[in-house]
Amino acid sequence: MAANLAYWQSLQGQAAAGELHVEAEVASECDKVCATYIADLNKMLEMTKTLSFPEAFGDLPSAQMLGAKFHRLAVGEQGSARFAIKQQIEIIKTMREFFQHYFASVDAADSATAASVEALSPPR
C-alpha cells in the first residue's frame, strides 16, 4: 500500500509541475468514483469497531490469547483490517487531490480565456 501511495503522490507532483495531463471529463468521473469509494471505506472503517469482542472468547488463558489475536487482526495497529482501510483511504484521498488538480487548472484556463476575449471585445 505504501508503494501505491507513493505512486499517486508522484503523479500528483508531475501534474503540479505540468508534466502530466488528464482530460477534464476523465478527471471528473474519476473524482466522483473516488468520492463514492471513500464514503464506502469510511463505512467499513466504522464497522471495524464491532469486529472484535475479545471478552466473548471466555476466561481460559488460551481463549483470551485467541481473543486478543483476533482483536489485533481486526483493530490493531499494523496489519489489521482497520489499519488497511485507513491506508486505502489515504491513497484514495491522494488520488482525488491528483484529479482535482485538473479542476483548478481548467478553471484557471477558462478564466484566462474569458479575460482575453473580454479584452479583445469592442467597448459597448
Residue 108 has a pLDDT of 58
pLDDT in tens, 5-38: 899 889 888 887 878 778 888 888 999 999 999 9
Measure the CA–CA gap between 89 and 7, rounded to whole angstroms: 15
Higher pLDDT, 72 or 114: 72
Among 82, 91, 79, 77, smallest CA distance to 37 is for 91
pTM attached to this predicted model = 0.72
End-to-end CA, the chain: 59
Higher pLDDT, 94 or 18: 94
How many distinct helices (H) and strands (E) make up the chain? 4, 0
Measure the CA–CA gap between 39 and 93, rounded to whole angstroms: 11
Residue 31 has a pLDDT of 93
Residue 88: what are its φ and ψ, rounded to 5°?
-65, -40
Q: Which of 32-41, 44-53, 104-113 is predicted with the least confidence, judged by mean pLDDT?
A: 104-113
